[in-house]
């Protein structure tokens, strides 16, 4: 008798899930599994905030699968081995999954596929999490794009992303093991994904609803609200001008195809230019994955090798802590870093300013910042995090030039003129007026308890430029 095994990874959804849709169409007894793999070579251990999200996302997915007549099996261990064992346990003759794009993950999947072929099983993978798979977007000479604009232009010149698939109403009942029982599932609590002491997750729980339903609510709110003015609203950290879909995309709780077509339908007549801007942000996500696909060491190696000679300074423990805890004395950087700690997310414009401050004003190696974001962001992903850090540092593809140094004071005056974002995260500044809130050191001690500046902006900028000049001069 036939049986199917679907392996879910960063695609924790029923909607627009080609592997699950195929399993529903086949109709043979079905086992759906998620494997927590912290052992296979090259797999990057998950950060704390992402673990918190994963716990809740899996718990909600299990409920949704049950409602559709299925069941989620949780297993922990080296994924290739676990999948082979589970295929044998459930007598599966068909393995299905949606594709991943990191090198260690692809190598596990390729190993499983070749094992399945040798064993006479069928193994099929699907395109689900990227609209443009890296190997399909090529320059005229057949290589990968190194600059975003032509990359995205090439994507847009081809056929539009396919229509999303509806979630299956019912899924086939679970496949029993050889002795008639259902395959064992580990209790999610035994994975200890949630923080214990101290439990820092209250702010995350107050901000987010992990899971597929939460993702669809976010999309609906965005489409009915800020989407029409995204082009300007996305730059204002004090308002909800962006979609906040990033952690949902990170875990594949919603597919980019679903987002794309929901916008297309909503703005069927006269899509504002803002929708095009939003689409190109989705394009940046695709570009980052293409960069990781081509450069598997993106999180550890400079994309531009000349940066191997850059004279990063090791920040003192106190400086690094001040940055991490939002105590640098520069309100925009501090508000951002506190938003990150409290909610697991930071507004994109502030991410750029906070990252620029670390690598340019403190001259710290971008890998230090990347690691902190990796641990604290709920949307930390293996492609976007290192690609964006390298973009800010100047060492990356299509990078912001090194001499572009974000001035946190100018930035907050421009994008948070009334200080709404600043005051929201820095209570010490609540008594300051709209002018002083950007430069509390000029407020004659009115910013009670707010730390002094850890570095002088003009001096550190000059030092950064001189260091860069030495790199250029060789």
- Active-site residue numbers? 281, 284, 312, 348, 366, 389
d(CA 374, CA 296): 16
Please state, in angstroms and rounded to a whole number, the distance separating the CA atoms of residues 17 and 129.
9
Taking the least distance from each CB to ligand FAD, the nearer of 89 and 416 is: 416
User: Which residue(s) pair with 6 in the sheet?
Assistant: 32, 96
273 C-beta neighbours (distance < 10 Å), count: 9
Q: Measuring CA to CA, which residue among 54, 37, 48, 46 is closest to residue 247?
A: 54
* Among the listed residues 288, 298, 473, the one whose alpha carbon sits nearest the alpha carbon of residue 395: 298
Tokens 């030039």 -> residue:
401
The nearer residue to ligand FAD, 109 or 286, going by C-beta atoms, is: 286
Which C-beta is closer to ligand FAD: that of 8 or that of 354? 354
Count how many residues are written for the chain: 474
Closer to ligand FAD by Cβ: residue 34 or 230: 230
Instruction: CB nearer to ligand FAD: give 245 or 333.
Output: 245
Minimum Å distance from CB 121 to ligand FAD? 34
Which of residues 399 and 437 has its CB atom nearest to ligand FAD in the complex?
Answer: 399
Q: At closest approach, how far in Å is the CB of 123 from ligand FAD?
A: 29
Cβ pair 390, 298 in contact under 8 A: yes
Work out how close the CB of 435 gets to ligand FAD at its nearest, in angstroms, rounded to a whole number.
27
* φ, ψ of residue 139 in degrees (nearest 5): -75, 175
Q: Which residues bind ligand FAD (CB under 6 A)?
A: 234, 242-246, 249-250, 281-282, 284-285, 288, 348, 351-352, 355, 373, 377, 379-381, 384-385, 388-389, 392
Tell me the closest approach of the beta carbon of residue 113 to ligand FAD, in angstroms. 28
Nearer to ligand FAD, 374 or 450 (CB): 374
Both tokens assigned to 445: 């001690």
Smallest gap from Cβ 330 to ligand FAD, in A, equals: 16
| Shortest distance (Å) from residue 152 CB to ligand FAD | 12
Q: Give dist(CA 45, CA 375) in Å, integer.
A: 10
Rounded to the nearest whole angstrom, what is the least distance from the CB of residue 251 to ligand FAD in the complex?
A: 11
* Nearest CB to ligand FAD, comparing residues 201 and 290: 290
Q: Say which residue the tokens 């850090």 belong to.
A: 389
Q: Smallest distance from the beta carbon of 89 to ligand FAD, in angstroms?
A: 36
Nearer to ligand FAD, 6 or 288 (CB): 288
**Least Cβ distance, residue 263 to ligand FAD (angstroms):** 11
């Amino acid at each position: 008798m036939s049986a199917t095994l679907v392996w879910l990874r960063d695609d924790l959804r029923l909607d627009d899930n080609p592997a699950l849709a195929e399993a529903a169409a086949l109709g043979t007894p079905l086992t759906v599994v998620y494997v927590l793999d912290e052992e296979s070579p090259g797999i990057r251990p998950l950060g704390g905030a992402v673990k918190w999200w994963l716990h809740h996302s899996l718990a909600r997915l299990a409920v949704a699968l049950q409602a559709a007549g299925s069941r989620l099996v949780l297993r922990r261990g080296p994924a290739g081995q676990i999948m082979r064992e589970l295929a044998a346990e459930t007598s599966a003759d068909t393995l299905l999954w949606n594709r991943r794009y990191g090198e260690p993950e692809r190598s596990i999947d390729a190993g499983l596929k070749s094992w399945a072929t040798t064993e006479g099983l069928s193994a099929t993978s699907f395109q689900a999490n990227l609209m443009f798979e890296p190997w399909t977007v090529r320059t005229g000479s057949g290589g990968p794009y190194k600059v975003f604009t032509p990359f995205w232009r090439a994507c847009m010149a081809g056929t539009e992303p396919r229509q999303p698939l509806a979630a299956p109403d019912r899924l086939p009942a679970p496949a029993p093991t050889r002795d008639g029982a259902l395959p064992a599932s580990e209790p999610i609590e035994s994975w200890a994904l949630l923080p214990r002491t101290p439990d820092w997750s209250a702010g995350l729980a107050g901000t987010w609803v992990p899971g597929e339903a939460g993702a669809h609510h976010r999309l609906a709110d965005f489409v009915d609200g800020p989407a029409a003015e995204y082009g300007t609203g996305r730059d204002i950290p004090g308002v909800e001008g962006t979609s906040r879909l990033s952690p949902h995309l990170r875990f594949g709780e919603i597919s980019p195809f679903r987002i794309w077509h929901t916008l297309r339908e909503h703005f069927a007549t006269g899509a504002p230019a803002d929708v095009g801007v939003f689409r190109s942000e989705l394009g940046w996500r695709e570009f980052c994955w293409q960069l990781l696909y081509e450069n598997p060491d993106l999180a550890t190696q400079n994309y531009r090798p000349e940066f191997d000679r850059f004279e990063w300074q090791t920040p003192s423990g106190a400086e690094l802590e001040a940055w991490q805890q939002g105590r640098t004395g520069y309100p925009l950087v501090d508000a951002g870093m506190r938003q990150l700690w409290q909610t697991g997310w930071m507004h994109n414009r502030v991410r750029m300013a906070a990252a620029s401050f670390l690598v340019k004003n403190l001259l710290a190696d971008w890998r230090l910042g990347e690691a902190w974001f990796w641990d604290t962001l709920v949307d930390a992903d293996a492609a976007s995090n290192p690609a964006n850090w390298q973009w800010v540092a100047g060492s990356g593809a299509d990078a912001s030039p090194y001499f572009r140094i974000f001035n946190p004071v100018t930035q907050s005056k421009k994008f948070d003129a009334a200080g709404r974002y600043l005051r929201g995260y820095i209570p010490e500044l609540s008594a300051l007026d709209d002018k002083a809130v950007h430069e509390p050191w000029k407020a004659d001690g009115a910013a009670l308890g707010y730390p002094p500046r850890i570095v002088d902006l003009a001096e550190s900028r000059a030092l950064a430029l001189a260091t860069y000049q030495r790199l250029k001069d060789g």
